[in-house]
């Protein structure tokens, strides 16, 4: 930014530091990246320095959002037994209030809600600016927003419009200036007399002058700017995100929040001056400030409603104890002869930590107890940029917190595969393609009936007999080849190396194996299962893919990992480091399509021994998994046929009118870091992120540190994104996805001139039960303390209770809850016994909502 | 030819959507039930449409007319319920049913668990009812009734997501344009009454056209009528200068945008022109006008399309441009081409809108994005060197700004149409309401005294109608009191009746005025009652821009207010709908120009009343609205 370097010592604003002010304001804006890589994060990231409940209250008063579910919902949970007395007692004790007051709260809990459940009076909706506009009787937002949004959308556009707005290296402000000064039709309203002279000034001067004329007094500048930006949080946030990280876009754009502020202020000044030619009162001259929330005063003062807080914590605690009590029953499994002494399993499978893989792992092991599964972050420790055969750009395949140093290219193995691209019909091609007016006329004149047929087919086709739709996951991938081995140590201009050396490969492979505690007793077949999701007509498709691969399908990582682990040179290095992978062991990569419940195996031209058996078991597991998923779908089949269920999930993933191809991370609740033995005989629904971890190999807590570094932000981010989007879908979430309109390929908005929507749509969260993530770590508190001491910034998540953190000591099975002040032993309810069932199907039958953790007693192994 | 069967099928096509609407309204709101009703009735409609078209085709594609019954029959005025089926109607009917059936199937799943599931299907059946009414109407009057129904259901679907101010605002914007352009049709139908002595049947019109016999009235009136019809068509089809409302109307669920603005609604203007070709097609002037509108639209829409960075806006402008072509084709008399073009464009845009959410995956994962630039350089190589460096970039910037602002049509329309009305209204409102009423009473009394002299009758009527317009404008310009707006609207309607009575105080006119008022007065009183309850604890004037969310907090009151709103604007649910027509015809009986103030009042009243409804019923409730209520 050229303007920010300009000195800010101006006569009218020497004591008002614009840059500092913008930095303070910008912290309150949403930080959602462009939609192509939807990254789950804590929606209230900027409030993380506060305690969870206090943050909710402050955020509510800032954005005008709800903070909890309606009181009636909690009362209903209680009636249904979903909240138990034990949880209530715990939550009441947790308030730390004197007993008498606790008793008073307790009594008030069951009173019906007289006042309704509405958002508070907030800065964004009832602030100074709003009061001022009411006084002026101007609906300024309706006048200014369309102008600003249109400019921003055209500026950011990544490929929808036919004419690109910014020229090479042009910043947003330069574009605005060019269009208003060098066009025959001046850009409205920048040529209005009130502002036309200001266009050539520095940004700081413009902002100060406008603020002076609008707000009047320096004391209200900051609040005015904040309210102006919060009137369209989506676009303000997007400008800030791109300013901080221009690489978030494929086609780079130079923009700063300051430019947006200056442009908008100019617009406002121009319009207000034109409407009120004889002058108008400024914001600071508002006659009556009573009842208007003020920044730095009452807004920042949290005011937590005790009833709702107690209900919410009681609800969460009830859910937590369901898992903890179940874990307690399984603690014996840990001390049984460990896997080293057991017979070698037939096959081992690595899955992503993702809670959607929870059920498929259970089924796979139920079907064949000789299969052992592991959980790890879905990039399998291999981070790189990846450019597929048909990709225009390399994209990072790893959690967003990592910046990869390597690039992996895909090339075709079959000679003629190149021609397969663009083999869609003519109709497909012009679906959105850009054509001249005349051709447009011709097309729409001639092809309409074709579209009638196509439309009728896509809507009316019988769902079970679908045309095969080729996607990234199928067929083509098998014929391609990844360049993983580095042939040249020269980095390219971005400092990125093409491929990995054997030592680097051994590092990556060895690290992952140690993380998940698999260093001996390798099965002859190890399948690395990555996951992705296919859906049609879904702008939010990225949110369904693997969060640990920066919202991409994880197949390249799985393929790279398997290839590396299969290299004799890599195994040799690993052997020297004490990890002995026998020569009889084969690694196979695969991709689990979580929406269709299908699996694709890679590079298996010569199937290793045991592969057919595994494939067969997996197929069964997928069918049963599909049936378990169907229990959530109101319009799904109600029969007990696995095949029918599987057909149904496939038709969901391929219908253009299905807004819920899958329910994604709905109902995520637990994260379990520990050996699989602890959870192997539990039915945890599809609610737990599971990372394998061998506590006995990690006396210093370093492996745990690596795991938590990923689990806390990734799983915690997913959990909180769901929680907030569920609690107030219209402010924290993006509302119903049905009216969404794709803007510039960077986001969605309602209608053509709406603000960008952030968060998750209603269709993703409607069955979610909002509760904070509980992370359970199987390790002694003494070791965990060492890890926590090294957590750095992530410690905030634990200290301020954005996630709950529990240690389960592997020897004794004692459970401790982390708090800022130390570990508290967890009292389990005496009157709760963990429900049991023989097999998963027995649990799910007839159930359409979240199911408490069950013990599975039909163990075969 | 099996006439009886065809007649019954025509009635069936018309009644089935209405039945479905009523059934859904009465149903419990259970999603499965609604889906079953919708599905059943859309199939039933399909069967009737196909049977009807088959029978009609086997009869040799005749221009078929069927008079069902006479809704009103008085000397000099008839309102027959009359159906008409010809080639144009058949094509439209078929397209409507096909797209409707697809959308119903699509929405059954797509809207699953949506809070407004019932509301959506109700409205969409209302829309189809209106569409069928338009397409099968045998007279302009019936067509106008359908036109109004389509307008209101559009309005409701745009404002479907009523929590957010933006959909509500855009619904209002579309509604104002609709309302304004309805003038064209209303006046057109009035004139046809005058000229044909009854609501003109399309069958007789087309005969006249085929025989090349000029209708028996002056060319002047024919020309005015043509322009009015072209105005109505342009508004509905988002043609110049009303292009801007269409992209902004894309606020409802995607399939509703697809069916309304992509496929069907937007082609209604074309339908109207096809139907009324005998009226405007005689002379060259309306044809030239039509051609120019089409051409201007094509130019503006295709330039605007280039700078649309959102997918629905882009499809909307592409569609507008195609309809512009249709207008041009119409002006050249290429009717068959127009029909083909309509079918193609409707399906194409409908499909594009339905799959529009997939554009991200399509562009990023299938096609790969490219940045297209507006490059004029290569066309400029013959320019003098001195301006070659600057001119192209200036032209480029200008084109871009033009495209970005979409030809600036919205501000243009606002400045010419609404701003003057608003400022007059604001000026009137500086006079206190009681004073206003007092003045009116005084003036009307004076006028009544004057009445004794026959000579002053016209003057008196003129003054009354002027007062009526002023009342409407007062309603239009008032921001801070819904009750006053409501009263102003009602006063204006009463004055309309009064002025017509003054003009022609005969017995039939008195009866007609009673008919008119029998619709208006109950609606007014009901509305007043509801408004009093709603506003009891709300200090509206303190926050006139806040939407009060009554539809959410007190849905029954909102429904009542909606009904009274429909009543007071003369929507075809009360006798006032025919009453407006009658009033107009009496008013223009002696002096055709006299219809003008009534028309202005009609439009402005509708807009003002709609604003009251929106401000009070839409929006998201918050603690602020609670604070109001508990006060």
Between A and B, how many CB-CB pairs are < 8 A? 298
Sort B426 into a burial class: Cβ within 10 Å, 0-12 / 13-18 / 19+: middle
Phi/psi region, residue A535 (left: phi>0; alpha: psi -120 to 50; beta: rest), is: beta
Residue B625: predicted pLDDT:
54
* % of chain A surpassing 70 pLDDT: 90
CA nearest A189: which of A175, A202, A176, A200? A176
CA nearest A32: which of A532, A394, A400? A400
Burial B79-100 (b: 16+ CB within 10 A, else e): bbbbbbbbebbbbbbbbbbbbb
Q: Interhelix angle for B576-590 vs B140-158, to 10°?
A: 130
Average confidence score pLDDT of chain B: 84
Residue B389: predicted pLDDT:
66
Average the pLDDT over each of A383-397, A674-688, B441-455 and give the range with the smallest value: B441-455
* % of chain A surpassing 90 pLDDT: 58
For residue A664, what are the CA distances in angstroms to A64, A279, A634, A722, B450? 27, 54, 16, 10, 78
Residues of A in contact with B259 (CB under 8 A): none
The minimal CB distance from A635 to the residues B112, B351, B357 is found for B112
Other CB atoms closer than 10 Å to residue A159's CB: what's the count? 24
- Maximum average pLDDT range among A448-462, A788-802, B182-196, B367-381: A788-802
Helix (H, G, I), strand (E, B) or coil at A673: strand
Q: Does B116 touch chain A (CB under 8 A)?
A: no
Model confidence band, residue A256 (pLDDT cutoffs 50, 70, 90):
very high
Model confidence band, residue A473 (pLDDT cutoffs 50, 70, 90):
very low
Model confidence band, residue B419 (pLDDT cutoffs 50, 70, 90):
confident
Residue B628 has pLDDT above 70, yes or no: no
Q: What is the CA radius of gyration of chain A?
A: 29
Residue B310 has pLDDT above 70, yes or no: yes
What average pLDDT does this structure show over A264-289? 90
Model confidence over A41-97: pLDDT tens digits? Answer: 999 998 999 999 999 999 999 999 999 999 999 999 999 999 999 999 999 999 888
**CA–CA distance, A715 with A713 (Å, rounded to integer):** 6
Model confidence band, residue B198 (pLDDT cutoffs 50, 70, 90):
low
Model confidence band, residue B209 (pLDDT cutoffs 50, 70, 90):
low
Name the more confident of B599 and A571: A571
Task: Please report which helix (H) or strand (E) contains residue A702, including its range.
Answer: helix A702-710
Model confidence band, residue A12 (pLDDT cutoffs 50, 70, 90):
very low
Sort A846 into a burial class: Cβ within 10 Å, 0-12 / 13-18 / 19+: exposed
Q: Does B615 touch chain A (CB under 8 A)?
A: no
B293: Cα separation from own chain's centroid: 19
Instruction: Please identify which residue in the block is written with the tokens 């991370």.
Output: A665
Q: Does B32 touch chain A (CB under 8 A)?
A: no
Instruction: Please identify which residue in the block is written with the tokens 């509905």.
Output: B236
Which phi and psi (to 5°) does residue A115 adopt?
Answer: -95, -5
Residues of A in contact with B264 (CB under 8 A): none
CA nearest B166: which of B238, B249, B266? B249
How many secondary structure helices (H) and strands (E) does chain B include? 29, 2
In total, chain A counts a number of residues equal to 861
Residue A440: predicted pLDDT:
65
The minimal CB distance from B371 to the residues A251, A447, A658 is found for A251
Q: Concatenate the DSSP letters of all residues of A72-136 into one string.
A: HHHHHHHHTTSS-HHHHHHHHHHT---HHHHHHHHHHHTS--SS---PPP-HHHHSHHHHHHHHH
Model confidence over A817-859: pLDDT tens digits? Answer: 999 999 999 989 888 999 999 989 899 988 888 899 999 987 6
Residue A14: predicted pLDDT:
54
Which phi and psi (to 5°) does residue A701 adopt?
Answer: 75, 15
Q: Which chain B residue lies closest to A749 (C-alpha atoms)?
A: B310
Model confidence over B369-389: pLDDT tens digits? Answer: 555 555 555 555 666 666 666
Helix (H, G, I), strand (E, B) or coil at B56: helix
**CA–CA distance, B246 with A449 (Å, rounded to integer):** 24
B309/A126 Cβ within 8 A: no
Q: What would the two tokens of residue A196 be?
A: 């036309």
Q: Concatenate the DSSP letters of all residues of B579-600 into one string.
A: HHHHHHHHHHHH-GGGHHHHHH
Q: Does B213 touch chain A (CB under 8 A)?
A: no
A751/B312 Cβ within 8 A: yes
Residue A557: predicted pLDDT:
94
Tally the C-alpha atoms within 13 A of residue A524's C-alpha that lie toward its C-beta. Answer: 12
Specify whether the CB–CB gap between B251 and B161 falls below 8 A.
Answer: yes
Residue A565 has pLDDT above 90, yes or no: yes
Model confidence band, residue A427 (pLDDT cutoffs 50, 70, 90):
very low
Strand positions, DSSP E, B75-220: 77-85
Average the pLDDT over each of A676-680, B71-75, B512-516 and give the range with the smallest value: B71-75
What average pLDDT does this structure show over B302-311? 90
Residues of B in contact with A125 (CB under 8 A): 622, 624
Model confidence band, residue B316 (pLDDT cutoffs 50, 70, 90):
very high
For residue B31, what are the CA distances in angstroms to A45, A648, B38, B164, B484? 38, 20, 10, 24, 40
What average pLDDT does this structure show over B29-56? 92
3-class SS string, B200-223: CEHHHHHHHHHHCCCCCCCHHHHH
Q: What would the two tokens of residue A58 be?
A: 């402050």
Specify whether the CB–CB gap between B319 and B349 falls below 8 A.
Answer: yes
Residue B207 has pLDDT above 80, yes or no: no
What average pLDDT does this structure show over B532-547? 81
Residue B624 has pLDDT above 70, yes or no: no
What average pLDDT does this structure show over B160-179? 90
Which phi and psi (to 5°) does residue B73 adopt?
Answer: -140, 105
Residue A471: predicted pLDDT:
41
Q: What would the two tokens of residue B234 be?
A: 């342009």
Instruction: Please identify which residue in the block is written with the tokens 């807009």.
Output: B607
**CA–CA distance, B381 with B580 (Å, rounded to integer):** 62
Q: Does B98 touch chain A (CB under 8 A)?
A: yes
A745/B307 Cβ within 8 A: no
Q: Which chain A residue lies closest to B114 (C-alpha atoms)?
A: A736
Residue A617 has pLDDT above 80, yes or no: yes
3-class SS string, A457-477: HHHHCCCCCCCCCCCCCCHHH
Residue A342: predicted pLDDT:
63
Residue B223 has pLDDT above 90, yes or no: no
The minimal CB distance from A134 to the residues B250, B370, B545 is found for B545
Other CB atoms closer than 10 Å to residue A251's CB: what's the count? 15
What average pLDDT does this structure show over B19-35? 91
**CA–CA distance, A834 with B424 (Å, rounded to integer):** 75
Model confidence over B246-303: pLDDT tens digits? Answer: 999 988 898 888 888 778 889 999 999 998 888 888 778 899 999 999 999 999 999 9
What average pLDDT does this structure show over B56-77? 82
**CA–CA distance, A540 with A547 (Å, rounded to integer):** 13
Residue A22 has pLDDT above 90, yes or no: yes
Average confidence score pLDDT of chain A: 87
For residue A822, what are the CA distances in angstroms to A672, A847, B42? 21, 39, 65
Residue A356 has pLDDT above 70, yes or no: yes
Q: What would the two tokens of residue A101 be?
A: 């007051």
Bridge pairing between strands A804-808 and A815-819: antiparallel
Angle at A667 between CA A95 and CA A651, to 5 degrees: 165
The minimal CB distance from A741 to the residues B106, B312, B402 is found for B312
What average pLDDT does this structure show over A532-538? 86
B164/A730 Cβ within 8 A: yes
Q: Does B310 touch chain A (CB under 8 A)?
A: yes
- Maximum average pLDDT range among A148-157, A190-199, B341-350: A148-157
Model confidence over B586-620: pLDDT tens digits? Answer: 777 767 777 888 888 888 999 999 999 998 888 88
Q: What would the two tokens of residue A123 be?
A: 């800065």
A446/B322 Cβ within 8 A: no
Model confidence band, residue A861 (pLDDT cutoffs 50, 70, 90):
very low
Residue A586 has pLDDT above 90, yes or no: yes
Q: What is the CA radius of gyration of chain B?
A: 25
Name the more confident of A414 and A623: A623
What average pLDDT does this structure show over A440-453? 68
Model confidence band, residue B451 (pLDDT cutoffs 50, 70, 90):
low
Query: Mutate which of A34, A63, A118, A550 to test chain B, going by most B C-beta atoms within 10 A?
Result: A118
Residue A779: predicted pLDDT:
95
């Amino acid at each position: 930014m050229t303007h920010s370097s300009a000195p800010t010592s101006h006569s009218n604003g020497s004591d008002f530091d614009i840059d500092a002010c913008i930095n303070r304001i910008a912290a309150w804006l949403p930080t959602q990246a462009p939609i192509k890589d939807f990254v789950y994060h804590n929606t209230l990231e900027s409030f993380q320095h506060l305690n969870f409940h206090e943050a909710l209250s402050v955020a509510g008063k800032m954005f005008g959002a709800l903070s909890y579910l309606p009181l009636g919902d909690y009362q209903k949970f209680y009636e249904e037994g979903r909240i138990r007395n034990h949880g209530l007692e715990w939550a009441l004790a947790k308030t730390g209030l004197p007993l008498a007051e606790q008793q008073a709260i307790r009594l008030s809990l069951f009173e019906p809600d007289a006042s309704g459940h509405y958002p508070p009076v907030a800065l964004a909706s009832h602030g100074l600016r709003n009061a001022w506009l009411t006084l002026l009787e101007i609906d300024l937002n309706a006048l200014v927003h369309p102008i600003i949004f249109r400019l921003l959308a055209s500026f950011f556009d990544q490929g929808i419009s036919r004419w690109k707005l910014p020229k090479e290296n042009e910043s947003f402000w330069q574009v605005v200036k060019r269009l208003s000064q060098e066009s025959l039709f001046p850009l409205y309203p920048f040529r209005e007399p009130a502002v036309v002279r200001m266009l050539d000034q520095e940004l700081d001067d413009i902002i100060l002058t406008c603020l002076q004329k609008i707000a009047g007094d320096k004391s209200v500048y900051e609040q005015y700017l904040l309210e102006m930006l919060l009137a369209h949080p989506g676009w303000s946030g997007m400008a800030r995100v791109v300013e901080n990280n221009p690489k978030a876009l494929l086609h780079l754009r130079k923009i700063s929040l300051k430019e947006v502020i200056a442009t908008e202020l100019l617009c406002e000044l121009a319009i207000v001056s034109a409407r009120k030619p004889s002058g108008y009162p400024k914001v600071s001259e508002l006659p009556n400030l009573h009842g208007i929330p003020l920044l730095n005063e009452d807004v920042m003062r949290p005011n937590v409603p005790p009833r709702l807080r107690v209900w919410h914590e009681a609800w969460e605690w009830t859910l937590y104890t369901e898992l903890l009590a179940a874990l307690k029953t399984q603690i014996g499994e840990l001390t049984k002869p460990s896997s080293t002494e057991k017979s070698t399993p037939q096959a081992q499978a690595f899955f992503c930590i993702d809670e959607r893989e929870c059920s498929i792992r259970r089924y796979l092991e139920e079907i064949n107890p000789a299969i052992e599964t592991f959980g790890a972050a879905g990039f399998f420790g291999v981070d790189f940029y990846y450019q597929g055969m048909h990709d225009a750009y390399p994209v990072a395949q790893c959690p967003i917190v990592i910046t990869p140093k390597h690039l992996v290219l895909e090339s075709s193995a079959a000679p003629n595969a190149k021609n397969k691209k663009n083999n869609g019909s003519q109709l497909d091609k012009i679906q959105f393609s850009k054509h001249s007016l005349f051709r447009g006329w011709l097309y729409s004149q001639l092809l309409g009936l074709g579209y009638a047929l196509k439309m009728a087919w896509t809507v009316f086709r019988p769902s079970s007999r679908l045309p095969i739709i080729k996607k990234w996951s199928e067929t083509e991938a098998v014929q391609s080849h990844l360049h993983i081995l580095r042939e040249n140590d020269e980095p390219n201009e971005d400092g990125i190396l093409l491929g990995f050396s054997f030592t680097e490969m051994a590092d990556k492979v060895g690290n992952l194996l140690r993380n998940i505690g698999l260093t001996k007793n390798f099965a002859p077949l190890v399948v690395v299962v990555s996951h992705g999701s296919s859906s049609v007509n879904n702008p939010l498709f990225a949110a369904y893919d693997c969060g640990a691969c920066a919202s991409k399908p994880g197949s390249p990582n799985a393929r790279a990992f398997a290839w590396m682990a299969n290299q004799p040179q890599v195994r040799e290095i690993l052997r020297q480091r004490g990890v002995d992978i026998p020569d009889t062991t084969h690694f196979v990569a695969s991709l689990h399509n979580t929406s269709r419940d299908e699996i694709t195996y890679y590079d298996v031209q010569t199937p290793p021994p045991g592969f057919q058996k595994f494939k067969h078991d997996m197929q069964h597991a997928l069918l049963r998994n599909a049936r378990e998923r169907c229990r959530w779908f109101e319009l799904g089949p109600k029969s007990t046929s696995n095949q029918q269920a599987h057909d149904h999930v496939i038709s969901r993933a391929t219908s253009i009118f299905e807004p819920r191809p899958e329910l994604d991370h709905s109902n995520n609740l637990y994260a379990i870091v520990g050996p699989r033995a602890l959870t192997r005989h539990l039915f945890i629904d599809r609610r737990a992120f599971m990372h394998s971890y061998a506590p006995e190999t990690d006396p210093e807590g370093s492996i745990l540190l690596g795991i938590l570094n990923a689990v806390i932000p990734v799983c915690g981010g997913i959990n909180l994104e769901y929680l907030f989007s569920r609690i107030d879908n219209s402010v924290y979430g993006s509302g119903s996805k049905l009216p969404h309109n794709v803007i510039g390929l960077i986001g969605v908005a309602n209608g053509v001139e709406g603000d960008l929507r952030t968060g998750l749509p209603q269709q993703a969260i409607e069955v979610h039960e909002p509760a904070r993530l509980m992370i359970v770590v199987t390790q002694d508190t003494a070791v965990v303390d060492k890890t926590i001491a090294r957590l750095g910034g992530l410690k905030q998540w634990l200290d301020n209770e954005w996630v709950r953190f529990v240690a389960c000591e592997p020897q004794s099975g004692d459970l401790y809850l982390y708090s800022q002040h130390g570990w508290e032993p967890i009292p389990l309810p005496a009157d709760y016994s963990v429900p049991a069932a023989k097999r998963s199907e027995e649990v799910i039958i007839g159930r359409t909502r979240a199911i408490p953790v069950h013990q599975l007693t039909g163990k075969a192994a | 030819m099996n006439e009886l069967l065809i007649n019954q099928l025509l009635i069936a096509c018309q009644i089935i959507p209405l039945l479905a609407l009523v059934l859904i309204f009465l149903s419990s709101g259970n999603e499965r039930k609604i889906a079953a009703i919708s599905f059943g009735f859309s199939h039933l409609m399909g069967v009737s449409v196909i049977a009807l078209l088959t029978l009609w085709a086997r009869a040799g594609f005749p221009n078929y007319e069927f008079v069902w019954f006479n809704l009103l029959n008085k000397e000099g005025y008839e309102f027959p319920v009359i159906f008409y089926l010809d080639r144009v109607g058949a094509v439209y009917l078929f397209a409507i049913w096909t797209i409707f059936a697809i959308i119903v199937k699509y929405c059954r799943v797509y809207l699953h668990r949506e809070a407004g599931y019932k509301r959506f299907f109700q409205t969409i059946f209302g829309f189809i009812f209106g569409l069928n009414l338009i397409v099968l109407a045998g007279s302009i009057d019936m067509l106008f009734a359908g036109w109004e129904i389509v307008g209101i259901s559009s309005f409701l679907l745009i404002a479907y997501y009523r929590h957010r101010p933006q959909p509500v605002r855009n619904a209002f914007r579309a509604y104002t344009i609709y309302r304004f352009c309805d003038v064209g049709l209303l006046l057109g139908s009035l004139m046809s009454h005058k000229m044909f002595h009854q609501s003109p049947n399309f069958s007789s019109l087309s005969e006249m056209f085929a025989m090349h016999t000029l209708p028996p009235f002056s060319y002047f009136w024919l020309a005015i009528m043509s322009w009015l019809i072209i105005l109505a068509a342009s508004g509905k089809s988002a043609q110049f200068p009303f292009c801007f409302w269409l992209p902004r109307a894309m606020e409802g669920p995607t399939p509703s945008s697809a069916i309304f603005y992509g496929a069907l609604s937007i082609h209604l203007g074309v339908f109207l022109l096809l139907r009324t070709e005998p009226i405007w097609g005689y002379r060259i002037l309306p044809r030239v006008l039509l051609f120019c509108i089409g051409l201007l639209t094509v130019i503006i829409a295709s330039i605007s399309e280039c700078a649309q960075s959102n997918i629905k806006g882009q499809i909307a402008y592409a569609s507008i441009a195609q309809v512009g072509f249709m207008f041009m084709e119409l002006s050249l008399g290429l009717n068959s081409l127009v029909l083909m073009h309509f079918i193609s464009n409707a399906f194409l845009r409908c499909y594009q809108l339905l799959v529009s959410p997939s554009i991200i995956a399509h562009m990023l994962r299938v096609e790969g994005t490219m940045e297209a630039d507006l490059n004029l350089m290569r066309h400029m190589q013959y320019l003098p060197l001195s301006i070659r460096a600057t001119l192209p970039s200036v032209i480029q910037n200008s084109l871009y700004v033009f495209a970005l602002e979409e030809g600036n049509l919205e501000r243009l329309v606002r400045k010419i149409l609404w701003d003057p009305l608003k400022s007059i209204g604001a000026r009137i409102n500086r006079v206190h309401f009681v004073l206003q009423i007092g003045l009116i009473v005084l003036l009307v009394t004076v006028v009544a005294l004057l009445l004794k002299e026959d000579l002053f009758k016209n003057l008196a009527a003129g003054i009354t109608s002027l007062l009526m317009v002023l009342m409407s404008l007062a309603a239009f310009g008032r921001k801070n009191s819904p009750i006053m707006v409501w009263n102003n609207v009602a006063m204006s309607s009463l004055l309309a009746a009064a002025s017509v009575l003054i003009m022609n105080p005969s017995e039939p006119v008195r009866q007609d005025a009673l008919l008119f008022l029998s619709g208006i007065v109950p609606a007014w009183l009901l509305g007043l009652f509801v408004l009093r309850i709603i506003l009891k604890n709300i200090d509206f004037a303190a926050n006139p821009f806040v939407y009060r969310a009554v539809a959410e907090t007190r849905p029954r009151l909102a429904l009542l207010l909606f009904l009274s709103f429909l009543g007071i604007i003369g929507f075809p649910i009360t006798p006032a709908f025919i009453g407006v027509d009658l009033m107009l015809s009496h008013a223009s009986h002696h002096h055709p120009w006299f219809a003008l103030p009534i028309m202005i009042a009609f439009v402005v009243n509708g807009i003002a009343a709609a604003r009251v409804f929106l401000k009070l019923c839409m929006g998201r409730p918050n603690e602020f609205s609670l604070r109001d209520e508990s006060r």
